[in-house]
Structure formats: C-alpha cells, structure tokens
A and B are shown apart, each in its own frame.
Chain A
Amino acid sequence: MQPAVAFLHTYSINPSMLSILKNELLKTYFKWRTYIGFIAILILVPLVEIALKLEGGSMIKGMTRSLEKDFFFVGNLFNGYFVTQLIMNSLWVHIPFLISLVAGDQLAGEATGGTFRLILIRPVSRSRILFAKYLTTLFYAFSLVAFLAALSLGLGVAMFGVGDLLVAGRELAIISQHEALGRMCLAFGLAIWSMWCVASLAFLFSSFVENAIGPIIGTMTVMVVFLVISNMPTSFFVPVKPYLFTTYLNVWQKALEASIPWETILHHVVILGCFSVGFYVATWYIFVKKDIVS
C-alpha cells in the first residue's frame, strides 16, 4: 500500500474505524473510573454555588470597593455568569487531574489488564487502534468540560440569575448581559481545546508505562511545575516560557477580556494544537514500536 493511501486508510472515518471507535467508547464509558470526574463535578459545583450563595456577596463588594469612589455599580453583578467564571478556575488543576484519570488509563490500563494481547493480534493496525483510543480520550475531555459548563451555568443562572459579567483580571472588565452567554460559550470552547492538550500529554505518558498511576502523577507533576514556571513573574524564566504548553492554557480567559483579542487567541490555539499533535505523534511512535511483553 502506498504510504499516503495507508495514512488515509488509518485516519479516515470509515465503517471499520467507526466500529473500533464505538468499542473504545464502550470500553471507556462502561468503566467506573470514567464517572469519577463527572461525580466530582456533580458534587463540587453545587457545593461551591451554595457556599457562594451564602457568603458570596462580600466577594463582589471586595472586588469593587476600591472603584466605588469613581464608579457607580448597578444591576446584579453577583450572577450565574460571574459564579461560572469563578468555577472555571478549576481548569488549572482540578479538571486536568480528572482528565488524566481516564486519558492516562487508555493505554496503561490495557497493559495492566493484559488485554493488549487480546486486541493487538487482530488484523487491524496499531495506528488505527491508537487513533480510536485518542479520539475516545478527546471525547471524554470534551464531555467532562461540557458537563462542567452545563452544570455550572445552568445551576448558576438558576440560583443567581443573569446580569453583566464582572471579570477581574489584570484589569477589571464588565461584559454586558446580552454578550455574556456567548463569551462563556467561547471560553468553554477554548477550555476544551486547552484540555485536549492536557489529555494528549496524559495519553503520551500512558504509552510509557504499564499502570495508570504513573501517567496521572506524571501529567500532574508536569502541569504543576510548568504552570508555576509559566506564571512566575520573574525574568529568569522568560526565555523558557514560550516552549511550555502551560503558557498557552489560559486561552479561555482571553474570551472574557473586555475586547476579544482574536489574534492572541488564534496564536494560542495554533500552538496548543501543535503541542497536542506533537504529543500524539510521540505516542504513536512509542506505541507502534512497543513490544507487548506484559
């Protein structure tokens, strides 16, 4: 088979590929581990929103106190959008951890269970199996972030109503109510893109080892160390920062700036995409050459 044809055969969504993908989804969503993330979100989001309902008013006051002598704030600033924005901070560490639980298990779990011996002796290329597993991993990351979005926005709006969105970053921005929902959707869309990069990293680590704990610890270690370096306001790390994917993970925050910096977003999206593809290619190289000895 010509290399180009073989490539298209592997990465095209044909009936055989769909069948393998269906089984990978089935294997993932039949596992108890897959639902840990959803359950954690299901518990965490209502708890945070209840806590904010009880004590959150003082938070807005704290944010606006220094401005009140120059500005007059009207309307409901402590609304569902604002609360959702606060919950989105879980995208730095908590959601990556939950994603690595499943992404890190995709290959290492098969090695632990001995089931590589079941599936890799079939007349299907390893590239195809890997691709189906990768798509499944991406779908899981998507579904987890989408669930976070739906629950935090839905419950937030139900409990706190709607209003203008107050964003406190390097500058204080207020996004009008009619624009806030669209901005939130864009932010979650970009968050999914960011989390796909994290999922790709955990997927790569999953190909190294034969138990799923390693990829989880590896992913979180890289995340924490790189995030610290990326956010450290010292000149010492400046030359390194452009080479760390964590420098670009804040792309979702760009959707919540006063004026959307489309150029910066595009730049971050492209770089995160390159990191994701790079992680996948490295995984592929390791996986197709790997001797299955477990």
Chain B
Amino acid sequence: MSTEVILQTYHLSKRYKNRWAVKDVNLYVHRGDVFGFLGPNGAGKSTLIRMLLSLITPTEGHVELFGSRLRGHRRAVLSRVGGLVERADFYLYLSAKRNLEVVASMRGGVPRHAIDEVLEIVGLTDRGGDRVKTYSHGMKQRLGIAQALLGDPEFIILDEPTTGLDPQGIKEVRELIRKLSTERGITIFLSSHLLSEIEQTATSMAVINAGTLVVQGRVEELLTSGENIVRVDARPSEIAKQVIDRQPYVLGISATNGTFTVKMPLEKAASLNAALVHAGVEVHSLVPRRSLEEYFLSITEGASDTLPGRKP
C-alpha cells in the first residue's frame, strides 16, 4: 500500500437548515486503494461525494485532493479525477459517443481513440453510435463508468455504481473496478450500502452513519477486529443453552426470542454445531457474524448499537 494520501477531508460538514447531512468527517484515501465508503441509505454518502466533486459547497471544513485544497485549485485537481455521482444520467437524445465527446470537451478535449478505448473497456463498442435513450439501465451505468475514465484520471469516485443492476451486471462492474485498480493503477473511491460489495472489492473502507464517520481502516483489519458472534437458533433451547455454556471457547451468551447470541471465535462455529447435534439438539440455523457486519446490520435495521471497533 502506498503511503501517499491523495484524498483527505478535514472536519467536512454540510448542513441543510437545521439538519446536518454530514458532520465533521475526517477521511483519508491512499494512492492505489480501492476505498469502500459504506453506509445505509440516507447516511450522507452522496452528500459527501458531491462535496468531493464540488457539486455542493461544504458548510464547514474542506477537501484536499493530491495535496491541494479543492477550493482554490478546482481545475487542477478535478483534471485528475473522474466521477460518477449516483445514477448515470446522460443526454438521452445523443449517442453514447456524442455524450462522451461532451464530457471530453469539458476536460479540454481528449484524443478520438480515447473515447473508443473507454467504450471498449466497459464493453459498449458496438453500441457507441446508438442514442442513450435506447440503453438499458445496466448499459447506462457502464457508460457512466466510461465517462469517469475519460482523460486517464488517477482517482475515480463511483457512487453506488451497481445500484439497479442485475446479478450479472453487478459482477461485471465489480470485475471492472478490480481491473481498473490492478491493471491501470487507478485509485478508486467506491460508495455502497452493501457490506458484501465493499468486502469483495475494497482494500480499505470507512463506515458512515447519520452523517458521522463511524470507523475507517483496512478492510481485513476491520472485519477481523473486535468480538465476533454466532447467532444460534436451536431446540430445545434449555439443552442448547447448557451445551453452549459448556464449550470452553464461548466468551458470553445471551438469548432473545429463543435465539442465542454467542460471543466466540468464528472458526469454532463448526465445533459448536457438532456439539449441539451430538447432544441431540435440533439446529435450525447457525450464523457466524463479524463485529463490523453485526454493527452494520444493526444500523441498517434501525437499531442503536455501538461499534466495538475504533475511530480513525
């Protein structure tokens, strides 16, 4: 991992009337990272991304890209950045190529072959001459990524690029993101409300909830830190509790509506299952959950839980 920080935010905040959409966010992204920006819907992800791309003026704080303040160095900084903010919208009455020409002109022009090249990267070469209004949602999303790639940016910001795509489309976009990172060395900022997406794609990540940054770090560290739990639904529950209590690796147990929440190392989940079955207990489900996943599910389900992790 490079130690060069290419994006840093300082106390970045945005207030709409009396509501803080983003509050005091200090974020950093290293060169070469695929940075996952995770949060439930309405957490403030898009507002923050819009501030990074100068679509919205922060109420407080500032953004630094490539070591320069965005405000005051907007042109120089944004010439090195590509972006796709939320849904990919285009001039529907123009062809994909014309749309890319419009974008290219805003970057001071790019060689003709660059437009063909980005269309090829996203697999739209054959449809480049067609009007965008004839495109499916998935094709528009891919075109959205293509426009973000124009002009060879060093840093790409993608706001929920897989939203509304079918499973095959999601898989293609994820592969494309990995390819852009590994083959082209592009640093990628990827926002999502799906932990699984970040887990499969990102190298580092941050979680935002209710406009506030909750945690930030390397994906493998965050997903293995803290106490992990196993959710067990087993009958009869009295015997199940006795069996679970007897296991030496169990650190704690609580029960809610007949389901046990067991604090224990996740690699022991299979042993616990074997012990329960051996004791004649019917195991209806046994779900290992890491602390971050548990936390994230709790905030997306609306519960007020706190993360046993760390703040940046």
Report A's interface with B, CB cutoff 8 A. 16, 19-20, 22-23, 26-27, 30-32, 113-125, 129, 289, 291-293
Contacts and interface: CB of A to CB of B under 8 A. Distances in A.
Contacts of B274: none
Closest 8 CB pairs of A and B: A114-B89, A122-B106, A123-B79, A292-B55, A123-B78, A121-B53, A19-B105, A117-B85
Given A23-B105, A30-B94, A116 B55 contact: yes
Nearest to B147: A118
A115 B89 contact: yes
B87 interface: yes
30 contacts: A26-B94, A26-B98, A30-B91, A30-B93, A30-B98, A113-B89, A114-B87, A115-B89, A115-B91, A117-B86, A118-B90, A118-B102, A120-B55, A121-B81, A121-B83, A122-B103, A122-B106, A122-B107, A123-B76, A123-B79, A123-B106, A123-B108, A124-B75, A291-B50, A291-B55, A291-B57, A292-B50, A292-B55, A292-B56, A293-B56
A118 B93 contact: no
Nearest to B102: A23
Interface string B31-69: 000000000000000000010011111000000000000
Interface of B: 50, 53-57, 74-79, 81, 83, 85-87, 89-94, 98-99, 101-103, 105-109, 147
Contacts of B101: 23
Given A121-B83, A123-B106, A32 B147 contact: no
B290 to A, nearest CB: 35
Contacts of A129: 106
A20 B57 contact: no
A20 B106 contact: yes
A27 B78 contact: no
Given A30-B93, A113-B91, A293-B50, A119 B106 contact: yes
A26 B78 CA distance: 24
A122 B101 CA distance: 13
A129 B75 CA distance: 13
Contacts of A125: 74-75
A120 to B, nearest CB: 6
Contacts of A113: 89, 91-92
B75 A123 contact: yes
Contact of B57 (A22, A115, A117, A289): A289
A291 B105 CA distance: 23
A27 B89 contact: no
Nearest to B106: A122
Given A23-B102, A113-B89, A122 B78 contact: yes
Contacts of B106: 20, 23, 119, 122-124, 129
Given A23-B105, A123-B76, 11 more contacts: A16-B109, A19-B109, A22-B105, A26-B98, A113-B92, A114-B86, A119-B106, A121-B54, A125-B74, A129-B106, A291-B56
Contacts of A293: 50, 55-56
Contacts of A289: 57
Contacts of A291: 50, 55-57
Given A27-B94, A32-B93, A114-B87, A121 B105 contact: no
Nearest to B14: A291
Contact of B54 (A16, A30, A120): A120
**Interface hub of B57, B81, B89 (most chain A Cβ within 10 A):** B89
A118 to B, nearest CB: 6
Nearest to A31: B93
Nearest to A113: B89
A284 to B, nearest CB: 16
A152 to B, nearest CB: 30
B202 to A, nearest CB: 22
Contacts of B78: 121-123
A239 B54 CA distance: 45
A144 B103 CA distance: 28
Contacts of A22: 105
Nearest to A126: B54
Contacts of A26: 94, 98, 102
Nearest to A289: B57
